[in-house]
Amino acid sequence: MTLQIKNLEEYNEAYKHSVDDPEGFWAEQAETFKWMKKWDEVLEWDFKGPDVKWFKGGKLNITENCLDRHLEDRADQVAILWEPNDPKADVIAYTYKELHEAVCKAANALKANGVEKGDRVCFYMPMVPELAIGVLACARIGAVHSVVFAGFSSSALADRIKDATCKMVICSDYNHRGTKNIPVKNVVDEAIGMGCDSVETVLVHKNTGADIAWNDKLDKWWHDEVDNQSADCPAEQMDAEDMLFILYTSGSTGKPKGVVHTCGGYMVYTCFSFKNVFQYKEGDVYWCTADIGWITGHSYIVYGPLLAGATTMMFEGVPTYPDAGRFWEICDKHRVNQFYTAPTAIRALMAQGDEYVDKYDLSSLKVIGSVGEPINEEAWNWYNQKVGRGNAPIVDTWWQTETGGILISPLPGITDTKPCYASYPLPGVQPVLLDADGNLIEGNDVEGLLCMKFPWPSILRTTYGEHERCRQVYFSSFENMYFTGDGARRDANGRYRVIGRVDDVINVSGHRMGTAEVENAINEHDNIVESAVVGYPHDIKGQGIYAYVITNHAITDEEAFRKEIKAVVTKMIGPIAKPDMIQIVPGLPKTRSGKIMRRILRKVASGKSDELGDTSTLLNPEIVEAVKEGAAALKKG
Ligand code: PRX
């Protein structure tokens, strides 16, 4: 089995081994998996290209390692435990044997509908077991999955379907979320209507049974296609470097990019990191509250846990339905041992009052995790005391869509924890801090730009169809370095604290958002001349979205206008990108070369108008006063 570090000495030893002899270290881990053919070379890499190959020449299928491999010793153990939105509805459990069968049937259905190795399949689904089954079915036959979070708008979905020229879309009819019933299929229909010509089939999972529009040319029911298939589907032989999936994420330039992960390295790293960060033990129940539409769900609901033979829970609902105690009720009900969520959820639940958490028995929790954004000290302390009850170490896990797996995190009970610190790198991870000129910042108690100087197995390989963009965004800022886009501090003991993005990306409720993307959406409104979007500190969301807009003609009803702006953003991207604050300005502060001075806009949005420094060198210094006054007035409401 993959190495599971048990104490500090073993961590130090493993870390040293992984740095002194990365190839030897990762070969040892990789050998614990089932390969159809062993690799010829452990690692070939060059960050200039970039060109990174792990386990070159190796052949495998990740689902054999997630499923078939477990049939011998844990066929009847629960693999996926599904908790429905409605607390009174039935829980569904798939054992490893049942999951294997379900995946094979779905894989045969994909094949019967013309999906072949290398074809892209888009998922736009709620958190139902069929989503995990469908994703694994793709991996079984070598099709590439591209899961799109079901909160994105039809327009955002269409962009992603077109970018990856998906052959099939798999969706549900409707989605239960709290008290809402969301028309998922309808959104897919709209997206298809936006010129997604590559789509040959829309496979619809009947989730709520509500009426939906039907297109005989494209639409097929999941149950009609899947249920009668054979439960035997041999796993396609994949090269270690064949694409496993694409996942779109926002960057500092306009269009989201399709991050590409490949089969071999991703398999080895997600299993290794899962076992070590969560210290999963046989018989434990593990729950990650993320959505499979994000990388956290890919790596730590589906692949990592299943590779490790764990029982992984999927939750259909939201943390506040029927009330703010739902997470804790579920932890109590299923005797959850490892719980993994986002700071934004912790802050939102903390704000509802302690009575919701105090009444549940959370003694089963051994490890509690945090992911997606910096966790502030107050939330960390509350999580530690109220949820962990002082007995469950917090793993503040730092990573990204591009890293595929957790790179920096405490190992619970092994390395120490400190509020706000993701702390130490996992074995195989070599972080460095650089200054803006690319000089290495050595020693401790320092701050800089977080980079990685050596590849780990699940590093992104490219961005789909745009290799040059991948090079530019991640590998061109500093020579021979992967640049994360984050700023970090290293404390006196060498622990890392990730402070946040240093580029034009903001992190709203743990969701990554490109400011340019939101601006492009706002600019779709007829009455907008120009806009600038920045993040500002938000008590619950971590960062809120603050939009400065210049209008074509004067606005009489500002409230109605703000609603229109929000509607346009919801239409172009989705509700998660709606600005929290919209300030109408006569102009935007610009440099003499015409670049928007975001530094000033960020300060004003953050209520730090008195810290702007010298603004006299601007092209239009007079505008700063107007922006400041407008912000003050907006705040007063
Ligand atoms: O800024 C960092 C922040 O989230 C970014 C990655 O976002 P995404 O690709 O959507 O992946 C989120 C889930 C892995 C990072 O560049 N971030 C993530 N985890 C942390 C974090 N910031 C501080 N602390 C963390 N633990």
Segment 467-491 shows an average pLDDT of 97
The atom number, within ligand 1, closest to the CA of 498 reads 23
Strand partners, 396: 370
Tally of residues, the chain: 637
φ, ψ (nearest 5 deg) of residue 440? -70, 130
Residue 49's pLDDT band, with cuts at 50, 70 and 90, is very high
Segment 313-329 shows an average pLDDT of 98
Hey, what are 518's tokens?
Answer: 């939101």
On the question of pLDDT at 192 being above 80, the answer is: yes
Residue 496's pLDDT band, with cuts at 50, 70 and 90, is very high
pLDDT value, residue 636: 87
On the question of pLDDT at 254 being above 80, the answer is: no
pLDDT value, residue 613: 86
On the question of pLDDT at 581 being above 80, the answer is: yes
pLDDT value, residue 617: 87
Residue 251's pLDDT band, with cuts at 50, 70 and 90, is confident
Ligand 1: which residue has its CA nearest to atom 26?
Answer: 398
pLDDT value, residue 598: 93
pLDDT value, residue 252: 80
Segment 434-455 shows an average pLDDT of 98
Residue 255's pLDDT band, with cuts at 50, 70 and 90, is confident
Give the Å distance between the CA of 36 and the centre of ligand 1: 34
Work out whether strand 311-315 and strand 285-288 pair parallel, antiparallel, or are unpaired: parallel
C-alpha–C-alpha distance, residues 242 and 557, integer Å: 55
Give CA separation, 144 vs 223, 307, 518, in Å: 22, 18, 28
C-alpha–C-alpha distance, residues 405 and 270, integer Å: 6
pLDDT value, residue 616: 86
C-alpha–C-alpha distance, residues 217 and 331, integer Å: 44
pTM comes to 0.97
Give the Å distance between the CA of 291 and the centre of ligand 1: 15
Residue 234 DSSP label:
P
pLDDT value, residue 553: 93
pLDDT value, residue 66: 98
On the question of pLDDT at 614 being above 90, the answer is: no
pLDDT value, residue 526: 96
Which residue in 577, 502, 574 sits closest to 533, CA to CA? 577
Give the Å distance between the CA of 106 and the centre of ligand 1: 33
- 146 three-class SS: strand
pLDDT value, residue 540: 95
Segment 267-289 shows an average pLDDT of 98
List pLDDT tens digits, range 163-174. Answer: 999 999 999 999
**182 exposure class (CB count in 10 Å sphere: 0-12, 13-18, 19+):** middle
Q: For ligand 1, which residues put their CB under 6 angstroms from it?
A: 249, 295-296, 371-374, 396-401, 422, 484-486, 498, 500-501, 507, 512
pLDDT value, residue 1: 82
Residue 188's pLDDT band, with cuts at 50, 70 and 90, is very high
Give the Å distance between the CA of 164 and the centre of ligand 1: 24
pLDDT value, residue 4: 98
Q: Which residue among 376, 407, 512, 515 is best mutated to probe the pocket of ligand 1, counting the most ligand atoms within 8 A of its Cβ?
A: 512
On the question of pLDDT at 35 being above 80, the answer is: yes
Which element (helix H / strand E) includes 610?
A: none
Give CA separation, 121 vs 136, 160, 586, in Å: 12, 11, 46
On the question of pLDDT at 253 being above 80, the answer is: no
Q: Which residue among 266, 398, 408, 508 is best mutated to probe the pocket of ligand 1, counting the most ligand atoms within 8 A of its Cβ?
A: 398
pLDDT value, residue 359: 97
pLDDT value, residue 284: 98
Segment 557-580 shows an average pLDDT of 97
Give the Å distance between the CA of 449 and the centre of ligand 1: 14
Q: What is the dihedral of CA 548, 553, 556, 562, to 10 degrees?
A: -30
**Contacting residues for 203 by C-beta, under 8 A, at least 6 apart:** 109, 113, 168, 169, 170, 171, 220, 221, 222, 225
- Greater pLDDT, 119 or 614: 119
pLDDT value, residue 156: 97
Give the Å distance between the CA of 450 and the centre of ligand 1: 12
